[in-house]
Structures are given as C-alpha cells and as structure tokens.
Amino acid sequence: MAITAKVDGMDEISEMLTQLAEEGPKAAAAGLYEGAGTMAGELEAAVDTIKTAPFKYAVHGTRLPSPEEVDAIRGAIGIAKFDKNGTEVQTSIGFSNAGYADVAGQTKPIALIANSINSGTSFMHKQPFFRKGVSKAKPKAEAAIIKAIEDRLDEKNLK
Amino acid sequence: MMPSEYEALVAALKLTDIPFAEYAWRTRPEGTYGVVSLDFESGQLNGNNQKLDRSWEASVDVFFSRLADREDVIRTVEEILAEICGASWELNSSTYENSTGLFHVEWVCQVMDSGVV
C-alpha cells in the first residue's frame, strides 16, 4: 500500500526567494534612506529649540550659546555615504565633515560647536538637543524604514 | 516631582569628595567640580489611565584640571552610576578644553520613576 504526495508551486516560491535575495539589500537601502532623512529632519528641528543669548564671555558661571553659534550648526547636519555589506547597510547622521564657521572672530569646527552646546563646557550651559532629538525621532525613523521596505517589496510583489 | 532614582543619584554624588551642583554653578569652583542634571523624559509606559514606569535621561559632568585625577573621578562617578542606574548608563564624552585647561568627562544615564499600579 502506498500513498502519493505531491507538492505544487515550488517553482514560483523558488523564483520569489531568488528575487527576494536580490531585492533585500535594495529594500534595506531604500528603508535606511527614508529613515536617515526622517532622523536628520527631526535633528534639524531640534536645533531650533536651542536657547541663545548674545555672545559674552562667562567669567564666573556659564553662558548660553550665541545666535551666531546656533546659526553655524543650523543646516550643517549631514548623512554619511551608505556603507553596504550584504544585506546590512548603515550610515551615520551628524556634524562630521560639516566644516568650519567664523564665530566671535574665531574660526571653529562646526562639530566642536555642536558638541559644546550638546554636552556643555565649563563655561557654556548644556542643552542636549542632539540626544533629545534622537530619542524623539527614533520611533518615527523606525516607522519610515519599515514603510519604505514594505513599499519596495509590495512593488515587486514579494510580500 | 523629581524621579526617585534621580534624587538618589544627586544625593549620592553630593556625598562624594567632588563638589556637585544641579544644572549649573553660579560661580565655578576652583579645582575638580561636577554638575548633575535631569535632561528630558525619554520614555514611558501608559496604563490604568496614567503614566507608569516613566524614564528620563540625566547626565553627570565632571571638570578637573589635573590628568592624574582622572582615574579617581571616573571610579567615584561610575561606582555610583552602577549602584543606582544598574546597566543604564554610558560614558558619553571625554574632552579637553583648550581655553580653560580643564578636562571634561560626561556620563549619560537613564533614571526611572515607577508609578502606582
């Protein structure tokens, strides 16, 4: 006595898996592109929350950043070139390679100005706009990444 | 009302040899000194029509002028962070201020305040 078992449709599944392997890294990059854009946008908005005061030397206590210092970091947030390794793709968002700005008669690296506002110094009051911005933007960036990946896979009928 | 873990952190830091102020010093002290601040609310779980298990990000900054003090400063602060915040803290930055000659070490930690269930 014997029974016959048959599996149908493996060709379609096999083709879908091949397509998925090709499409995976592209979908991941598309997701990261959207997520990085969302994160950078939120961080730009966080720069606008920094409190300022006209520049003066803090002789005893701490001072607020001057409007010129905040202007220097506004619009300077950049997204690094995507680093791809198989299906893994990563980037960084911040002030690296943002260049220099003239503030109070001195040329300073923009990354240094941003760090001194975010972490504070012995003479500048700390305003952690970057950490706060990242914390606020994370859920939005994650949602943007998932949506972009799903849209990409939908386009290719791979869901 | 301040989160209970933040209050414990401030109290423990103020018991050390390093003079600590909350948020800022009106006049910066001579020698080694620290600043502790509650920065922002970073997360919460909602339930029973109220906020439960809220978390905040806080930071601890220490400024010192002698490199030889670095190890003592780090050990003092990190023992307190480990005791109060468990694993929820990290060394965020370590910088040298050219203009003042001060070293600046900054830690970031998560502090909790559990609501009534």
Any domain includes A141: yes
Judge whether A142 lies within some domain.
yes
A151 CB-side CA count, 13 A: 10
Residue A4 in domain = no
pLDDT in tens, A82-103: 988 877 889 999 998 889 999 8
Q: Has residue B96 got a pLDDT over 80?
A: yes
Q: What is the pTM of this model?
A: 0.84
If you measure CA to CA, which chain A residue comes closest to B34? A122
Share of chain A above pLDDT 70, in %: 97
Delimit the domains of chain B by residue range: 4-113
- Are B106 and A119 an interchain contact pair (Cβ–Cβ within 8 Å)? yes
The answer to whether position A8 is within a domain reads no
Give the pLDDT confidence of B6-51 residue by residue, as tens digits.
999 999 999 999 999 999 898 888 899 999 999 998 877 666 666 6
Count how many domains chain A has: 1
Task: Answer yes or no: do A122 and B39 touch at CB < 8 A.
Answer: no
Q: From the list B92, B97, B108, which residue is nearest A122 (CB)?
A: B97
Spatial separation of the C-alpha atoms in residues A8 and B25, rounded to whole Å: 75
DSSP A63: B
Query: Which residues constitute the domain of residue A105?
Result: 13-155
Indicate whether A51 belongs to any domain: yes
- ipTM of the complex model: 0.86
Residue type, A23: E
A chain contacts of residue B92, beta-carbon cutoff 8 Å: 119
- Cβ of A131 within 8 Å of Cβ of B104? The answer is no
Which among A60, A119, A135 has the least Cβ separation from residue B57?
Answer: A135
CA–CA distance, B61 with B88 (Å, rounded to integer): 16
Residues 6+ apart with CB under 8 A from A68: A55, A103, A104
Give B35's contacts in chain A (Cβ within 8 Å).
120, 126
| Contact state of A60 with B92 under an 8 Å Cβ cutoff | no
Q: Per-residue confidence at A13, pLDDT binned at 50, 70, 90?
A: confident
Is A6 part of a structural domain of the chain? no
Domain B4-113: give its CATH code. 3.30.2000.30
Lowest mean pLDDT among A1-15, A76-90, B86-100: A1-15
pLDDT at residue B6 in the model: 94
Domain contains A95: yes
pLDDT tens digits for range A19-64: 878 888 888 899 999 999 999 999 999 999 999 999 888 888 889 9
Decide if A120 is inside a domain: yes
Which residue in chain A is spatially nearest to B36 when comparing CA positions?
A126
Across the interface, whether the CB atoms of B40 and A128 are under 8 A apart is answered: yes
> How far is the first Cα of chain B from the last one, in angstroms, to the nearest whole number?
18
- Token digits of residue A10: 């493996």
Residues of B in contact with A119 (CB under 8 A): 61, 92-93, 95, 104, 106
Structure tokens at A135: 């914390």
Model confidence at B63: pLDDT above 70? yes
Instruction: Report chain B residues touching chain A, CB-CB < 8 A.
Output: 24-28, 35, 37, 39-40, 42-43, 57, 59, 61, 63, 92-93, 95, 97, 99-100, 102, 104, 106, 108
